[in-house]
Structure 1
Amino acid sequence: MTTAVPRSLRESEVRQDVREFLASEPVRAELERLSLLPPGEEPGHSEIFQLLGERGWLAVNWPREYGGLGLRAVDAATVAEELALAGVPDVAHVLSVDIVGLFLLMAGTQEQKARHLPPLARGESIATVLYSEPGVGSDLGSLRTTADREGNGWRITGRKIYSQKSQFASHGLCAARTTDEHGTGISLFMIDMMAPGVRVSPIWNATEERFDDVSLDVWVAHQDVIGPVHAGFDVLNTVLALERTGIDYQGRVRRWFDAIRDMAQRTGLAEDEKLRGRIAALDTKIRAGRLMAYEAVAAIDAEAVDPVASARSKWFNTELAAEVVELGLDVGGLMSAVTRWDGEPAWRETLESMYRESPNLTLSAGTSEVMLKVIAALGLGLEG
């Protein structure tokens, strides 16, 4: 049953409703189940996503016809922030709704939207992103995966790496080269991840969730091209600015910081004057990061997307993670070495897991170096 939320509902009311939902027994039970997953396992189709989908809260700012509530970007940001603060695994939500869903809303046909968006909004399926390639990194203009005309569709061949949740995904949004021109000539395709010619292999890494190596030799129908052929690079740049508000990163960093501060208070370390000042200063920076994130979100609602504001928020909030983890190591001492393998704190909540996860925040959705380049070029007018 879908809960109807009127457009006039204030942000504070949305936040309160979501908090009450996240505190409910079904959600707490599912979070407990996830916390007990053995090392090496990770959540895919979590029941929490389906519960959120029933309420229209996975895609709050999507039109109702596609499973949303027709609210604002700030309402969607409020939900995303609360999910992060509650420790709900958010990678599948970010990939499916905030990235792939946003591409479809902006550039998809009516048929594509009707086919793909409702299952994503209901939390019934997961979509992944197929951008990065070996030796390419964040330079999407240098992609080598190709899409060649074949019959009434395209033959896509290449290899994508460092994608997440591809082992659970029903579809992947793939960027492939349709001309030989560097930088341009990129097109976007919706690929059936179960189709013959799609092979997904794990890339094990230091974080709690694996990356994937995806090999492609697959035929895709022409109706699965997202947006105009050869114009995917422009769409990518537009959507990336919308994606980089920093809300989800900010919420995660705040959750880590609050846990570390609570540990300092429980152990009496917070009474140390130097450490108390350090905690207060870092708290202030996190609050500033939150304001930056909501500034970027407000620009979306005003239909005045600011890529500089988005890049600034993404850079600032993800770089804060290292400072928070450094504080945690000093507060935790030997406890900082405790892992889930030791049967101690819950999934993603050990200081050791925060330490392993923090570098990933500065890499996803564009590296810190790319963010600084955007700020320098577009914000300060610097070249080179």
Structure 2
Amino acid sequence: MAEKAILTEELIAHGVPDIAHTLSVDIVGLALLLYGTDRQKSRLLPPIARGESVAGVLFSEPEAGSDLGALRTRAERDGDGWRLSGRKVYSAKTQLADFALCAARTTESEVPFHGITVFLVPLRPPGVAVEPLWNIGDERFNEVTLSGIRVTEEDVLGTVDDGWGVIGEILGLERTGIEFQAKARRWLDAALERTGAEGLAPAEADRLVALDADVRAARLLAWRCVDDLHAGRSDEVRSAMAKYWAGETGREVALAASGAAGLDALLAGDDEESLGHGVLEAACREAPGLTLASGTSEVMLTVIASAGLGLLA
């Protein structure tokens, strides 16, 4: 776990696009290690490890983002398998993926979190349509439509109808905050490199110093979560704290760093005079999404308040 987190930090520090790695290795790969059968592991993990296969996640839907218990994608029995039908949205890098973790409802229940199953769904066969959802960020989102694609027992991750526990664990894997704090550090360092020799107004300098402390705190919170996972345990509240702080800090860093760096921060990467190949311009477009991805800040605060502080009991 520690080596994996270090690699993620280094990829981001050097400006290497990290989303495909994060999804394939940090999330799907680890989910397979935790819940996959021996046959699933032997079939899917080696290509991921060799960089020959990319994996994605199909959870969010048009009417089910933060509230995954409201998902409408259905898996209807078909002999010894199921037929999956539904729409998934905001799925990053799916255009490159060979398969994805997909949450679908297998049984109707009065309890919204019961009757959900996580499937390992291939994304290349007929019956799967991947269309872009264009956005202002550099990373492409997609809408994925499943039109009766067939899966079998071999494609079930975990237990049928008990996928909510798997989803909860997967979301915990997403919420270490490692990648978010690493991006905040890269953005802040870019601003400090730009402004260090020229000097800043006292108010701007104080703001960057305070943000430097916030980024360091985000990293410490993230590494506590990594340590939990390394030890084979997970802490929902600690993960929520790390994700919340890293996401909110990243947004503040992008805005403050761009302001301190001046108009040059607005130049995109294809401009030869841009700052660090447009790192801060891209940050301003990406940073708001850090408070949404892997669980919104509002959801993280709800987890902290309820499970951590007992305020909503």
**Alpha-carbon distance, 1:222 to partner:** 2.1
Cα distance 1:303–1:143, how it changes in 2: closer, same or farther (>3 A)? same
- Which range moved further: 321-330 or 177-186? 321-330
Asked whether the 8 Å contact 1:186–1:230 carries over to 2, the reply is yes
Task: Indicate the SS of the match to 1:328.
Answer: helix
Find the counterpart in structure 2 of residue 95 from structure 1: 23
Find the counterpart in structure 1 of residue 305 from structure 2: 376
Find the counterpart in structure 1 of residue 179 from structure 2: 248
Find the counterpart in structure 2 of residue 191 from structure 1: 121
Cα distance 1:244–1:228, how it changes in 2: closer, same or farther (>3 A)? same
Which structure 2 residues correspond to residues 1-384 of structure 1 after superposition, within 5 A?
A: 73-181=1-109, 182-217=112-147, 218-266=149-197, 268-270=198-200, 272-345=201-274, 349-383=278-312
Asked whether the 8 Å contact 2:208–2:257 carries over to 1, the reply is no
Task: Indicate the SS of the match to 2:107.
Answer: coil
- Pairs aligned (count): 310
Post-superposition CA distance 1:213-243 (Å, at most 9, x none): 1000111122111111001111111222233
Task: Indicate the SS of the match to 2:255.
Answer: helix
Distance 2:161 2:219 in 1: 36
Name stretches of at least 5 consecutive residues in structure 2 with no aligned partner. none
Find the counterpart in structure 2 of residue 14 from structure 1: none
Task: Indicate the SS of the match to 1:269.
Answer: coil
* Cα RMSD, aligned residues only: 1.6
- Which range moved further: 311-320 or 231-240? 231-240
TM-score (normalizing by structure 2): 0.94
Cα distance 1:346–1:178, how it changes in 2: closer, same or farther (>3 A)? farther
Distance 2:140 2:242 in 1: 26
Q: For residue 283 of structure 2, what is the amino acid of its counterpart?
A: M
Name stretches of at least 5 consecutive residues in structure 1 with no aligned partner. 1-72
Asked whether the 8 Å contact 1:148–1:178 carries over to 2, the reply is yes
Question: Among the aligned pairs, what percent are the same residue?
Answer: 48
**Alpha-carbon distance, 1:337 to partner:** 2.5
Cα distance 1:101–1:308, how it changes in 2: closer, same or farther (>3 A)? same
**Alpha-carbon distance, 1:336 to partner:** 3.0
Distance 2:266 2:6 in 1: 33
Q: For residue 119 of structure 1, what is the amino acid of its counterpart?
A: P
Post-superposition CA distance 1:305-325 (Å, at most 9, x none): 111111101100110112112
TM-score (normalizing by structure 1): 0.78
